[in-house]
Amino acid sequence: MFESAELGHRIPDEEYEAAEPGLRAALLDAQYDLLELRQFAVIVLINGMDGAGKGATVNLLNEWMDPRHIEACAFDSPTAAESEYPAMWRFWRSLPPRGKIGVLFNNWYGQVIVDRVERRSRRADLEQRLDEIRRFESMLVREGVLLIKFWFHVSRAVQKQHFKALEKDPRTRWRVTRRDWRAHDLYGRYRDVAGQVLRSSSTGEAPWLIVDGSDANFRALFVGRTLLSAITKRLEAVRRKWAPRQTAAPLAPAVDTVNLIGSLQRQEMGHKEYDEQLERHQGRLALLTRDDAFRKRSLVLVFEGMDAAGKGGAIRRISAALDIRQYRIVQVAAPTEEERAQPYLWRFWRHVPRRGKIAVFDRSWYGRVLVERVEGYCSEADWMRAYSEINDFEDELAAAGAVVVKFLLAISKDEQLARFKQREAEPHKRFKITEEDWRNRERWDDYVQAICDMVDRTSTERAPWVLVEADDKQYARIKILRTICERLEAALDHGRKVEGKA
């Protein structure tokens, strides 16, 4: 969830100062168009970690836009008077009318998260309150509200640094309270609970947008541009009388060039070490998948990555360690006619392994948020809802005992070029390189953006993404094998412990 937001995005002052006036003017225009059209309200939710610049950003929005038509509202624990009413009453009172923008600070998520962090509520309570929130937000969306949800994130280290800096300066010392330090002590729990809450309330119609809050310039441009693009898009849709289905909430536009893929470091492994490690991990995998405890589990491996990233080679190193009766490699290509006549996930459900079995997916259900998104094979609303449908799907697999391991093989653009050329040069490899590969390469940046959104939105506790630095094939293969072994060992050990107790 927070992968991309912990990369330390930064915008230099000159760049910010060059961009700000244009953005302000465009936002103000959008605000007046919204007011004039009076067809829908905009609700901006502001939540997040302490010290991530939430307050500063709200102030900025007020400064940028016409404050007469933007209503900022902050919520703390309910007051005595508010407690006399049903819990949602105070939020209903603060909804902006059509034509206006409401900025709701801490809103309906604030108390829900704090209660869980402080252990005043149980997991089941949280689930129930999230269900109520989803129904409430779904109602808002159906009433035409444009709902934009920002989560301001900072890493533990940045939070600490921020508090320390404030304390050092006598003019800002008062701003850091014991409550802030207590929140910092509970950072890990905040991050966990926030992850659960965000995943479970990120829907296709109202997804969360994670803001890297560590740099004031970055977060201001990020929030401003997202808001602008969301309002502009919806205004256009309303003017053209498009059906609401065609206008999902926005994903964030790229504000700088920092991203998950770009921040990976090149890793290498020599031949000798590779040979040793390969033998060791293949042996380990062979034993694990033949372990009695594995009969109650299953293994689902997912491989995604750029063309020529080495998925096939990595998969062959895995299958070499497996019993042929136990595994199946599923090559995912364009759907058949039969498959197109079914809901999207149907063609993957067909290949879900039963207990004791292994399915290796060479490309997967993530096609919807990668190639189908980038190439426009499905509508935006369709791929937007796919994130939460995929999370639900993988939750079901995990609930049935499947160990789900997802690998994203990342290579640099240069490395890809070298491999393409090599393939063209070698007659027996020429079938592996087509016109389409060259075309995809032209959309490299779009694919990288799609990959980053995918990792942020579908890396869950139960089925996390593993980013594999794949410029060096040997390093990549070993990292993959080792990760599978580790995840399997943890799962089988856990199973044994549970049985031991019973």
- Which run of H or of E encompasses 324? none
Looking at residue 170, its amino acid is: P
Q: Which of residues 349-378 bind a second copy (CB under 8 A)?
A: 349-350, 352, 354-356
* Out of 18, 139, 165, 425, the residue judged to bind a second copy by CB under 8 A: 139
- 173 is a site residue for a second copy (CB under 8 A): no
SS3 track for 183-230: HHHCHHHHHHHHHHHHHHHCCCCCCEEEEECCCHHHHHHHHHHHHHHH
- 76 is a site residue for a second copy (CB under 8 A): no
* Out of 3, 6, 307, 382, the residue judged to bind a second copy by CB under 8 A: 382
- C-alpha distances (whole Å) from 337 to each of 217, 368, 378 are 49, 17, 16
> What DSSP designation does 116 have?
H
Residue 247 backbone dihedrals phi, psi, to 5 degrees: -130, 85
Interatomic CA distance for residues 446 and 318, integer angstroms: 30
* Out of 29, 118, 131, 375, the residue judged to bind a second copy by CB under 8 A: 131
Identify which of 407, 301, 303, 317 has the alpha carbon closest to the alpha carbon of residue 357: 301
- C-alpha distances (whole Å) from 91 to each of 74, 95, 400 are 10, 7, 39
Smallest distance from a second copy to CB 29, Å: 21
- 450 is a site residue for a second copy (CB under 8 A): no
Burial class (CB in 10 A: 0-12, 13-18, 19+), 168: exposed
- 402 is a site residue for a second copy (CB under 8 A): yes
Smallest distance from a second copy to CB 338, Å: 7
Interatomic CA distance for residues 420 and 431, integer angstroms: 11
- 403 is a site residue for a second copy (CB under 8 A): no
Smallest distance from a second copy to CB 287, Å: 23
Direct distance between the N- and C-terminal alpha carbons of the chain, in angstroms, rounded to an integer: 34
Q: Which of residues 313-352 bind a second copy (CB under 8 A)?
A: 338, 341-346, 349-350, 352
- 142 is a site residue for a second copy (CB under 8 A): yes
Interface stretch with a second copy, choices 94-102, 168-176, 271-279, 358-366 (CB under 8 A)? 94-102
Widest Cα–Cα separation across the chain: 79
Looking at residue 432, its amino acid is: K
Between 81 and 502, name the residue whose CB sits nearer to a second copy.
81
- 172 is a site residue for a second copy (CB under 8 A): no
Smallest distance from a second copy to CB 240, Å: 13
- C-alpha distances (whole Å) from 111 to each of 78, 121, 130, 152, 429 are 9, 10, 12, 16, 58
Between 43 and 193, name the residue whose CB sits nearer to a second copy.
43
* Out of 14, 63, 84, 414, the residue judged to bind a second copy by CB under 8 A: 84
* Out of 392, 424, 489, 499, the residue judged to bind a second copy by CB under 8 A: 392
* Out of 78, 195, 244, 313, the residue judged to bind a second copy by CB under 8 A: 244
* Out of 34, 49, 145, 454, the residue judged to bind a second copy by CB under 8 A: 145
* Out of 162, 184, 219, 385, the residue judged to bind a second copy by CB under 8 A: 385
Residue 487 backbone dihedrals phi, psi, to 5 degrees: -65, -40
- 35 is a site residue for a second copy (CB under 8 A): no
* Out of 74, 140, 254, 269, the residue judged to bind a second copy by CB under 8 A: 140
Identify which of 187, 102, 99, 95 has the alpha carbon closest to the alpha carbon of residue 136: 95
Smallest distance from a second copy to CB 44, Å: 16
Residue 292 sits at the vertex; the CA angle it makes with 291 and 293, to the nearest 5 degrees, is 90
**What is the size of the binding site for a second copy (CB under 8 A)?**
54
- 462 is a site residue for a second copy (CB under 8 A): no
* Out of 1, 11, 34, 41, the residue judged to bind a second copy by CB under 8 A: 41
Which residue's entry shows tokens 């949280």? 126
- 396 is a site residue for a second copy (CB under 8 A): yes
Q: Which residues bind a second copy (CB under 8 A)?
A: 38, 41, 81, 84-89, 92-93, 95, 97-99, 124, 127-128, 131-132, 135-136, 139-140, 142-143, 145, 243-245, 338, 341-346, 349-350, 352, 354-356, 381-382, 385, 388-389, 392, 396-397, 399-400, 402
